[in-house]
């Protein structure tokens, strides 16, 4: 079963007029992981698609999606899949890839239908591509680890980079996730923007009563969206993307746009935030 929604681009002048419900309608994504379904959110920011597949006892196949206007989903797209559940398989290009929790498979443009099976809870990311890069399984041991922050600043964390030029080649997708040490709750602060790329966050590995206050908006017009476990948020290129939780958590970050330079960001001084 395939369920697809479209989210249109909102300019910063409009965004600062939105109330809580309107902000959530445009940028917040809930109800992603549903048994027996593939759910996709088609964003008009850099045409990024984010979504999920939860095969349960059966097999789910992602093939044609009307919103892309192509014969098959990956005809002009690349794709990354992160498993946030139990062991599962992703089949693409005639090969079967077994993913443990926390592992990623990158699927290059033109790979054809993609099938999901097993106990996995698969988070899907896809962006338009202009060339084919090799499909490959990226295990935890393959990821690039970057340790940052401190306990004193409540932001001690490890950034695991999967789709990154130093790890795995992609056309325009950058992707990985960040894990926090116990007692640390702040992410991406001081905040930044990168007008060359949009971003999406998935918050996961959180107890049901834990929340993250995701901060978005222009630096001088910040807003917040309250996030629960396995909920995602779309971050426009003009927006900061930071947050703090009621306890530690993990979030998957993904970017699409003009470049694959992870360090390409415009820092926002703390005193400029409002």
pLDDT in tens, the chain (274 residues): 899 999 999 999 999 999 999 999 999 999 999 999 999 999 999 999 999 999 999 999 999 999 999 999 999 999 999 999 999 999 999 999 999 999 999 999 999 999 999 999 999 999 999 999 999 999 999 999 999 999 999 999 999 999 999 999 999 999 999 999 999 999 999 999 999 999 999 999 999 999 999 999 999 999 999 999 999 999 999 999 999 999 999 999 999 999 988 888 899 999 999 9
Phi then psi dihedrals of residue 49, to 5 deg: -115, 130
Cβ within 8 Å of residue 206, ≥6 positions away: 212, 228, 229, 230, 245, 247, 249, 250
CA triple 183-184-190, angle to 5 deg:
155
Q: How far apart are CA 163 and CA 263, in angstroms?
A: 14
- pTM greater than 0.95: yes
The pLDDT, as a whole number, for residue 170 is 97
Q: How far apart are CA 159 and CA 185, in angstroms?
A: 14
Cα atoms in the 13 Å half-sphere on the side-chain side of 168: 30
The pLDDT, as a whole number, for residue 67 is 96
The pLDDT, as a whole number, for residue 152 is 95
- How far, in Å, are 77, 113, 174, 213, 268 from residue 127 at the CA level? 6, 16, 10, 27, 27
The pLDDT, as a whole number, for residue 222 is 97
Strand pairing report for 37-43 and 2-7: parallel
The pLDDT, as a whole number, for residue 200 is 98
Strand pairing report for 197-204 and 104-107: unpaired
User: What number of other Cβ atoms are within 10 A of residue 23's Cβ?
Assistant: 19
């Amino acid at each position: 079963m395939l369920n697809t929604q479209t989210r249109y681009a909102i300019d910063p002048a409009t965004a600062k007029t939105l109330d809580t419900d309107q902000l959530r309608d445009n940028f917040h994504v809930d109800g992603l992981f549903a048994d027996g379904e593939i759910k996709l959110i088609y964003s008009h920011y850099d045409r990024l698609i984010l979504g999920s597949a939860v095969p349960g006892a059966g097999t789910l196949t992602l093939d044609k999606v009307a919103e892309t206007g192509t014969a098959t989903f990956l005809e002009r797209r690349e794709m990354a899949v992160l498993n946030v559940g139990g062991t599962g398989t992703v089949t693409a290009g005639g090969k079967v890839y077994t993913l443990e929790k926390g592992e990623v498979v990158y699927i290059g443009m033109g790979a054809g239908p993609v099938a999901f099976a097993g106990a996995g809870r698969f988070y899907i990311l896809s962006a338009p591509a202009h060339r084919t890069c090799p499909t490959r399984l990226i295990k935890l041991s393959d990821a690039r680890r970057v340790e940052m922050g401190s306990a004193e600043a409540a932001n001690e964390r490890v950034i695991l980079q999967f789709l990154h030029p130093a790890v795995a080649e992609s056309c325009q997708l950058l992707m990985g996730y960040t894990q926090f040490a116990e007692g640390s709750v702040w992410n991406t602060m001081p905040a930044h923007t990168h007008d060359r790329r949009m971003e999406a966050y998935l918050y996961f590995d959180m107890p049901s009563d834990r929340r993250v206050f995701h901060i978005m908006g222009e630096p001088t017009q910040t807003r917040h969206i309250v996030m629960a476990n396995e909920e995602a948020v779309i971050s426009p290129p003009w927006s900061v993307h930071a947050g703090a939780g009621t306890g530690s958590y993990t979030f998957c970050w993904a970017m699409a746009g003009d470049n694959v330079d992870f360090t390409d960001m415009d820092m926002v001084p703390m005193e400029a935030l409002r």
